[in-house]
C-alpha cells in the first residue's frame, strides 16, 4: 500500500479536530482510499501552547516553510485561518506541485481565482469541501452529483451563529445583544463575532457557491451583504404573525443563462422565509442549502455547518480525494491535465463563462417594511402617497393596537419592487414629519 505524507499547517479548533478524527478513523479511511496516510508534521505558531488535543512532540514544528518544502511532504493541509499567511502557504505548496486541502473560505473568496489557476498550471489539486457549510458535502454535490444540472436557484443558511441567535430570538423573545453575549460565553460565537453577525462569513461561502454553480469567478465585492444586528424582536414577532421566520439567507439566482453571458443575482441578507418552506425549520447552529437543478428539481441539504468534528469530516474527505487522485496519477490511469475524482479545478476554468452579478439596486423582490410613525389621522395617506409615486404597491398593512406612546409601529408588506425604487421612496419617507425613526426594510422570498 502506498503512503501519503501529510503536513498539517495550523492546529486550532479545526486542525485539532482533524488530528483527532484521523486518529479515530485512520484505518477505515486507509481501507476506503487504498493508501496509507501518515501525518509527517503539524505546524503551529506556539508549540508550547496548551491545546484541547495532545500532539506528539516529535511531529510539532513552528516553521511552515520547512514543512511545505520538505521533499517527503506529499500533501499540505492548510488550516491556519486568516488570509495573509494562509495564502503564502497555499501558493508555496501549489508552486511545488503539491496538492492542498483547505477549509479557508475567506482565502478562496479573496484569491480563489488565482489559486485555482496556479493549481491548474502546476497540474495539482486544490480541495476545498470544508470551506462551505462544514460537514455538508455541498461542493461535491454541485461539482459531481449534480454536474449535469444548471442551477436557477440556490438558497442557503450558511452561518450557524446567526441562525442560532435568530432561532433563540424566535423561541424565547430575548433580544439580539443578550443572546449574542450568551453565545460567546458558551462558545457558539467568537469573542469578536462581527464576521458572523455582519454577514461576512456567509458572504465568503456564497461567493464560492456562486462561482461553483455558474462557471465564472464571483467576487465577494459584487455580492450585496447585510448582517442581522438591525433585526429586532418586533420584526420577528410581526414576521411570525404574517406566517414567516427571519433567516440570514444567501440567495444565488440565475437571471439569464445562454452562450453569450450568464447573469446572476447574489445576496446575503435577513429574509422573511414562509413557514411552509423547508429552510424555515432549520434551527440552532445548523446550516442548510436548498438547490434547484433544472433536471433534478428541488434538493435540500442540512447538517452541522461548523465546529471541529463537522469541519474535520470534510477535510478528511478531501484528504481521501487527494489520495485517490494521487494513486490514479501514479498508476497512469488519469492524465495529469484531466480532472481527477475531485474535479478540483475544472469548475473555475474548463467551465468558465462570461458572467456578471446584477447590482443590488436592480434586484426586484417583495419587502417587509417597518416604520415608526405618529399615531394620527393622515399618517398612512402620506406614506402611501410616496410609495405610489415610486410605483410601489402595498399588499397588506398591520398597525397594532395597544401602544400607549405617541409613536407606533406600522408594518407594510410590499409587492414586487426594485431596491432602487424602495431606496428612493424610503429617502423621502424618512423625511416625513410623521416618521419618527429610521425605517427597517427586510426582503421577503417565496422561492419561486
CATH number at residue 438: 3.30.70.260
Structure confidence at residue 280 as a pLDDT band (50, 70, 90):
very high
pLDDT of residue 341: 40
268 and 153 assigned to the same domain: yes
Residue with more model confidence, 407 or 245: 245
pLDDT tens digits, 316-338: 999 998 888 877 766 655 444 33
Residue 58 lies in a domain: yes
Taking 50 as the threshold, does the pLDDT of residue 184 lie above it? Answer: yes
For residues 136 and 287, give the distance between their C-alpha atoms in angstroms, rounded to a whole number. Answer: 8
pLDDT tens digits, 341-350: 444 445 454 4
All residues at 6 or more sequence positions from 133 whose CB lies less than 8 Å from its CB, including other chains: 156, 158, 205, 287, 289, 301, 303, 305
340 and 378 assigned to the same domain: no
Q: What average pLDDT is seen over the chain?
A: 89
Q: Which of 230, 209, 227 lies closest to 218 in space, CA to CA?
A: 209
Q: What is the DSSP letter of 135?
A: T
175 and 127 assigned to the same domain: no
Structure confidence at residue 307 as a pLDDT band (50, 70, 90):
confident
Structural domains in the chain (count): 3
327 and 399 assigned to the same domain: no
Taking 80 as the threshold, does the pLDDT of residue 340 lie above it? Answer: no
91 and 44 assigned to the same domain: yes
Identify whether the C-beta of residue 241 lies closer than 8 Å to the C-beta of residue 259: no
Q: What percent of the chain has pLDDT over 90?
A: 67
pLDDT of residue 349: 45
Residue 140 lies in a domain: no
258 and 278 assigned to the same domain: yes
Q: What's 70's domain CATH number? A: 3.40.50.720
377 and 336 assigned to the same domain: no
Structure confidence at residue 271 as a pLDDT band (50, 70, 90):
very high
330 and 371 assigned to the same domain: no
Please report which helix (H) or strand (E) contains residue 214, including its range.
helix 200-214
For residues 176 and 180, give the distance between their C-alpha atoms in angstroms, rounded to a whole number. Answer: 6
Cell of 320: 481521501
212 and 114 assigned to the same domain: no
pLDDT of residue 444: 97
Provide the residue range defining the domain that includes 395.
360-444
pLDDT of residue 353: 62
295 and 272 assigned to the same domain: yes
pLDDT of residue 258: 63
Which of 288, 317, 348 is the last residue before a domain boundary? 348
161 and 242 assigned to the same domain: yes
Taking 50 as the threshold, does the pLDDT of residue 251 lie above it? Answer: yes
205 labelled catalytic: yes
387 and 407 assigned to the same domain: yes
Taking 50 as the threshold, does the pLDDT of residue 213 lie above it? Answer: yes
What's the whole-number mean pLDDT along residues 133-155?
A: 92
Residue 355 lies in a domain: no
Which of 304, 337, 368 is the last residue before a domain boundary? 304
Q: Which of 71, 87, 72, 119 lies closest to 9 in space, CA to CA?
A: 87
Phi-psi region of 264 (alpha: psi -120 to 50; beta: other; left: phi over 0): beta
Cell of 259: 452562450
- Choose, from 105, 140, 205, 247, the residue flagged as catalytic: 205
Amino acid at each position: 500500500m502506498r503512503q501519503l505524507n501529510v503536513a498539517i499547517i495550523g492546529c486550532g479548533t479545526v486542525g485539532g479536530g482533524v488530528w483527532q478524527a484521523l486518529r479515530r478513523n485512520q484505518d477505515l479511511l486507509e481501507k476506503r482510499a487504498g493508501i496509507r496516510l501518515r501525518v509527517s508534521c503539524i505546524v503551529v505558531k506556539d508549540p508550547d501552547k496548551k491545546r484541547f488535543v495532545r500532539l506528539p512532540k516529535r511531529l510539532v514544528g513552528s516553521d511552515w516553510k520547512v514543512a511545505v518544502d520538505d521533499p517527503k511532504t506529499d500533501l499540505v493541509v492548510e488550516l491556519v485561518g486568516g488570509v495573509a499567511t494562509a495564502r503564502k502557504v497555499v501558493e508555496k505548496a501549489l508552486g511545488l506541485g503539491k496538492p492542498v486541502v483547505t477549509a479557508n473560505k475567506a482565502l478562496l473568496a479573496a484569491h480563489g481565482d488565482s489559486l485555482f489557476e496556479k493549481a491548474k498550471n502546476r497540474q495539482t489539486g486544490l480541495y476545498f469541501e470544508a470551506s462551505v457549510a462544514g460537514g455538508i458535502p455541498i461542493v461535491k454535490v454541485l461539482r459531481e452529483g449534480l454536474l449535469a444540472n444548471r442551477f436557477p436557484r440556490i438558497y442557503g443558511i450558511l452561518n450557524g451563529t446567526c441562525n442560532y441567535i435568530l432561532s433563540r430570538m424566535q423561541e424565547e423573545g430575548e433580544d439580539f445583544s443578550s443572546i449574542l453575549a450568551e453565545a460567546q460565553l458558551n462558545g457558539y460565537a467568537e469573542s469578536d463575532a462581527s464576521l458572523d453577525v455582519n454577514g461576512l462569513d456567509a458572504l465568503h461561502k456564497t461567493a464560492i457557491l456562486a462561482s461553483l454553480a455558474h462557471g465564472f469567478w464571483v467576487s465577494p465585492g459584487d455580492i450585496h451583504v447585510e448582517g442581522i444586528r438591525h433585526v429586532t424582536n418586533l420584526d420577528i414577532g410581526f414576521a411570525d404573525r404574517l406566517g414567516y421566520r427571519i433567516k440570514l439567507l444567501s440567495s444565488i439566482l440565475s437571471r439569464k443563462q445562454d452562450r453569450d453571458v450568464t447573469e446572476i443575482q447574489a445576496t446575503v441578507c435577513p429574509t422573511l422565509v414562509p413557514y411552509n418552506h423547508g429552510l424555515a425549520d432549520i434551527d440552532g447552529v445548523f446550516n442548510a442549502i436548498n438547490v434547484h437543478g433544472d433536471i433534478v428539481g428541488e434538493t435540500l441539504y442540512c447538517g452541522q455547518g461548523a465546529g471541529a468534528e463537522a469541519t474535520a469530516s470534510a477535510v478528511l474527505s478531501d484528504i481521501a480525494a487527494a489520495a485517490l487522485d494521487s494513486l490514479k496519477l501514479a498508476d497512469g490511469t488519469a492524465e495529469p491535465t484531466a480532472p481527477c475524482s475531485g474535479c478540483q479545478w475544472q469548475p473555475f476554468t474548463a467551465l468558465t463563462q462570461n458572467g456578471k452579478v446584477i447590482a443590488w439596486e436592480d434586484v426586484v423582490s417583495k419587502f417587509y417594511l417597518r416604520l415608526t410613525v405618529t399615531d394620527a389621522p393622515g399618517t398612512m395617506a402620506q406614506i402611501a402617497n410616496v410609495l405610489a409615486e415610486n410605483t410601489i404597491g402595498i399588499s397588506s398593512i398591520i398597525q397594532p393596537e395597544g401602544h400607549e406612546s405617541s409613536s407606533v409601529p406600522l408594518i407594510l408588506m410590499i409587492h414586487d419592487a426594485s431596491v432602487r425604487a424602495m431606496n428612493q421612496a424610503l429617502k423621502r419617507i424618512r423625511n416625513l414629519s410623521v416618521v419618527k425613526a429610521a425605517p427597517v426594510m427586510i426582503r421577503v422570498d417565496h422561492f419561486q
